[in-house]
Amino acid sequence: MRTRELWLTVLLAAAADPAWAADAAALNGADTAWLLTATALVLFMTMPGLALFYGGLVRMRHVLSVLMHCLAIASVVSLAWLAVGYSLAFTADQSGLGLIGGLERAFLSEVARDTLKGTVPESLFFMFQLTFAVITPALIVGAYPERIRFSAVLVVSLLWLLVVYVPVCHWVWGGGWLAKLGVIDFAGGIVVHTTAGVSALVLAGLLGPRRGFPREVRPPHSPGLTVLGAGMLWVGWFGFNGGSALTADGNAAMAITVTHIAASAGAIAWAAMEWLRFGRPSVVGTATGLIAGLATITPAAGAVGPAAAIAIGLLAGLLCQVMTTLVKQQWRIDDTLDVFAVHGVGGILGSLLTGLFAALVLGGVGYAEGQNMLGQLGVQALGVGVVALWSALATFFCAKAAAALGGLRAPEEAEIEGLDLVAHGERGYDLR
């Protein structure tokens, strides 16, 4: 089956039934092996990829706290995903409104070793989707380092998973109302990056800026760690986007190809802008540009060709860099590690550009049935707008709940002495 026919079949089947692939085919060894690999790659993106990327960007006395945030979120979210998250996201909505699923798969009830989801074991599909549920709240860690209570990280992340990520995942990937409208989000421009980016902006605003922001903020303590983490994210993203094809075929191969091309274009665009503005490109900036390219291609990875990937990556590097300056210098919001500017703006931009570059005449795979370019752009914009609004409102609720339960911001002395020592009793480096 051609790529376009496969994509449209999957999209329309998912809109009709969230369990569209269950028991539809026999187990395929190649598909299973690829998804096993992709699952490991996506988890590798969080620990250690994202942890090292973020850890290198903060000050030395806070590095362990950032690593701990990623580790703790991965553990807490995994248990919550098993308990109710997966079932609510990927089972049928009995109301018919397409808002949320049921609890028939809670704790993987009735999922045996031979239960299939399409051509792979459902337990493997569960694990692949779990890695997305893990990395999405972990992305938000970049909005609040150096000044948040560890207890607040746990409360906000758990609540956020249940009231933001799970419903949006059902709307888009679980056969919900956005899926029925024909929204295209191949690997998470809306579900992952829009939700995390907008939520990061809200949390950063509620927490307030770091001490001395913006004039006395110090540069990253270890750019080397950041580049190492960026490299791990780059490799892991092949599983993130390529695995979202759920098959070992040309669609997965093209998704990996356009992912790599967009990352490269994003890095080049960011470095070129820094060269023009400041007279030299920075290592951290170039690494950030490649992440912007990766985030922006994510929703389009299964729908566009290589030429479009170049355009998407270049636009990502340019626009996301402009937004980093706008958020911190004009809006005066201390989104510390630029989660909104890179992931939020990247996800929104990529989701909208998918409505353009998915056109057959531009090398894409085509639109949902009955849609033209204008119609698809409208659906994409609607999806982005509603999800952004829901993410902002629900995140405000999550933050207020955490503040009521035990406080949101760490004491000033903890910020001065370092969250590593105050919150965890350890130091990232022994400099004696």
pLDDT of residue 2: 39
Confidence band of 215 (pLDDT split at 50, 70, 90): confident
pLDDT tops 90 at residue 19: no
| Whether pLDDT at 238 is above 60 | yes
Q: What is the pLDDT of residue 369?
A: 82
Residue 218 banded pLDDT, cuts 50, 70, 90? confident
Rounded CA gap, 110 and 91, in Å?
Answer: 13
Show the CA angle centred on residue 224, arms to residues 218 and 226, nearest 5°. Answer: 70
Q: Looking at residue 94, what is its pLDDT?
A: 80
Q: Which of 236, 243, 294, 219 is nearest to 48 (CA)?
A: 236
Mean pLDDT of 111-127: 97
> Global pTM?
0.93
Closest CA to 236 of 279, 290, 284: 290
Alpha-carbon distance of 245 to 236, in angstroms, equals 15
Per-domain residue ranges of the chain:
24-422
The answer on pLDDT for 115 being more than 70 is: yes
Instruction: Please return the burial class of 94, using the count of CB atoms within 10 Å of its CB with bins 0-12, 13-18 and 19+.
Output: exposed
- pLDDT of res. 25: 67
Q: Which of 365, 336, 368 is nearest to 146 (CA)?
A: 336
What is 24-422's CATH superfamily?
A: Ammonium transporter AmtB like domains (1.10.3430.10)
Label residue 341 by pLDDT band (50, 70, 90). very high
Structure tokens at 100: 């949320």
Give the DSSP letter string of 71-111: HHHHHHHHHHIIIIIHHHHHS--TTSSSS---STTGGGTT-
What pLDDT does residue 23 have? 42
How big is the CA angle at 161 (ends 115 and 122), to the nearest 5 degrees? 10
Give the mean pLDDT of 164-178: 97
pLDDT at 315: 98
Can you tell me the mean pLDDT for 68-93? 97
Share of the chain above pLDDT 70, in %: 94
User: How long, in residues, is the chain?
Assistant: 432
Q: In 3D, which of 351, 342, 253, 349 has the Cα closest to residue 305?
A: 253
Tokens of 257: 């190809």
Q: Residues near 156 by Cβ (< 8 Å), separated by ≥ 6?
A: 203, 395, 398, 399, 401, 402
How high does pLDDT run on average in the chain? 93
- The number of angstroms, rounded, from the C-alpha of 324 to the middle of its chain's C-alpha atoms is 18
261 Cβ contact partners less than 8 Å away, ≥ 6 residues apart: 306, 309, 310, 313
What number is the average pLDDT over the span 126-140? 98
Give the pLDDT of residue 21: 41
pLDDT for the residue 346:
98
d(CA 412, CA 415): 5
* pLDDT for res 432: 61
pLDDT classification of 22: cutoffs 50, 70, 90:
very low
Q: Report the 10 Å Cβ neighbour count for 22.
A: 15
Per-residue pLDDT at 15: 40
Q: What's the mean pLDDT in 388-400? A: 98
Element (H, E) at 116: strand 116-117
Instruction: For residue 415, give the nearest of 336, 314, 330, 302 by alpha carbon.
Output: 336
Q: 282-328, pLDDT tens digit by residue?
A: 999 999 999 999 999 999 999 999 999 999 999 999 999 999 999 99
Bridge pairing between strands 116-117 and 120-121: antiparallel
% of the chain surpassing 90 pLDDT: 89
